[in-house]
Amino acid sequence: MAESKKTSEVNWFKQRLTLAMFFIMAAFALLIARSFYLQVIERDEFSRLSESNCIRLQSIDPPRGMIFDHEGRLLVENRPSFDLNIVLKDAKPVRQTLEHLSVYAQVSAEELSSKLERKNGLSLYKPTLIKPDIGRDSLAAIEVRRFDLPGIEVNVRSLRHYLRRGTSAHIIGYLGEINSEELKGDAYPDARSGDFVGKFGAEKSFDRYLRGKRGGQQVEVNATGQVVRVLQTVDAQPGHNIYLTIDQALQEKAQDLLEGIAGSVVAMDPNTGEILVMVSSPSFDQNAFVSGLSRDHWRELITNPFRPMENKAIQGEYPPGSTYKIITAIAGLEEGVIDRHTTFFCPGFYRYGDRVFRCWKKGGHGTVDVERALEESCDVFFYQVGQKLGVDRLAWHAKASGLGEPTGIDLDHEASGLIPTAAWKKNRTGVPWQRGETLSIAIGQGYDLVTPLQMAVLTAAVASNGISYKPIIIRRIETAEGKIVFENKPKVARKLPAGKQTLEIVRRGLWQVVNGDRGTARVAKVKGIEICGKTGTSQVVGRKKNELARDVERPAHQKAHAWFVAYAPAEHPQIAVAVVVENGEHGSSASAPIAREIIKSYLNRPHPSWHIKGNSEDHLVSFNAKFGT
């Protein structure tokens, strides 16, 4: 029995051993067959590849999405760029290759060498960019001498071309080469060294849509790095196209009106929040950034005292001057410190404690109510309203109206402005709030700071029955084939802290500013269009005690900024505008004519989309339903 069991175990082991030997012999047979195939049958082909050729992967950059205005006018397109690259493994001797290349590329060999030295962690096998956008003449010279330039490649990629030079620079933005910090971050997960990404404006805010998806190809190159044949290609996917909300014709009109002026214009649709115009002056040429600015050019831009690189519409912070009286009027009416029949007498000054606060009109305005105070911009009336309110109640209404915080527009580096409170001053300076300071705050001076965009949003909300929309700059985003992937809708940001009766009183006052016999902006009146608005003059340098603005001639950079905010038509408004002219002194003479021309130009053109926008009463109903107010 034991002998039989032992024999069975031996047989089982022999079977397993035989099976294992079979698999081992089969594997060796496959290896021998594959080796025979590679070394005998394909000997010539692989011998050629091993001796003089190799397989490499080349990246294919995607075409960046194009940018249009709201009517489909092309603003930004792509053009071909011929970029000079070097593959160090193939470019031997490197120094000699660079010397030959410098002759044809019209760049010194020292400059080419220094560019290589500045690049860290260079790969021997991957192309390294040494000169972008070389031009067709240099391209032709290099192509005919390729055999004298081992390791030199000229790659074609699409490069940005901004068609409307400077007119929309601050809202569109520009591209720049990605830096080391951006490469380490998460914002550009597929980016590589040498890629161009959005650095400013919509180009930056919507880079993820515009960039597209990289492609590639597998190529066979010879001993000098020249492509022999393309083995396989994966096409790049172009970026999405973006349609802005801006009206380019109106944008150019505003740019022309600001020619030679430092300032900003913002225009928006009060029924949707769409930005129709956003101009900051002076502007800059985005195309200068495409191939890289020289140090001298960049230094010139950033040291320019008129700040061309700043988007004044969202980054410029100015005292609002008398445009702030809209807030003071709303706060006074809502808090019950005045009503539509309340009057104050203006003799041209207001005495508070041991100080005398002057009105802009030396002889005074006489007895005025809130509507006439808005019409004639009577400082004395609003001094007294501010005194009754106090700084904190005034600040609450300003902040509830959207001042003192970013509007949330999809552009980087939006400023907040400043709405002061008693606690703010105590924390900031350690000095308690003085009640006399409230008088200055009530007329938009002192610590008050706003941006042109904030004032445009406020004006639009007054026009739109108190409904304040988030400002938007993108209407829709489409694929290259025209499929819509995103479409913006109006977004209600808040409701002004003002009842219907308060808004009616304020709107009547703003109507009289332009259309009344004593209005401060009668220059903005247009036949056939009822414009409502408010002028403002904001001091750059504080006045001396009892000094009137007209009492002294100041240097240009110390003159007051000129404001005008407006909307039109008075009934069923379609456009709201804010204009600030730096050191323009008077809103009535410097800013109101600019707003008038923009409004006139816009409303005198047909706009087929108006009839489907709805009206503010419809949005008010939906707002109340959503927020329960």
Q: How many residues does the chain have?
A: 629
d(CA 449, CA 442): 12
* Peptide bond connecting 150 to the previous residue in cis, omega within 30 degrees of 0: no
Phi, psi of 271 (to 5 degrees): -90, -10
Is 114 tagged catalytic?
no
Nearest to 98 by CA among 86, 89, 83, 82: 86
Which residue in the block uniquely carries the two structure tokens 């194009």?
66
d(CA 424, CA 446): 13
d(CA 342, CA 365): 15
Q: What is the DSSP letter of 133?
A: -
DSSP three-state, residue 105:
helix
| Active-site residue, selected from the candidate residues 81, 158, 283, 322 | 322
Burial 615-625 (b: 16+ CB within 10 A, else e): ebeebbeebee
d(CA 72, CA 606): 16
- 608: Cβ–Cβ under 8 A, 6 or more apart, which residues? none
Cβ contact 171:246 at 8 Å = yes
DSSP three-state, residue 166:
coil
* Peptide bond connecting 282 to the previous residue in cis, omega within 30 degrees of 0: yes
- 19: Cβ–Cβ under 8 A, 6 or more apart, which residues? none
DSSP three-state, residue 408:
coil
E strands in 482-574: 484-487, 492-495, 532-538, 561-568
Catalytic residue positions, numbered: 322
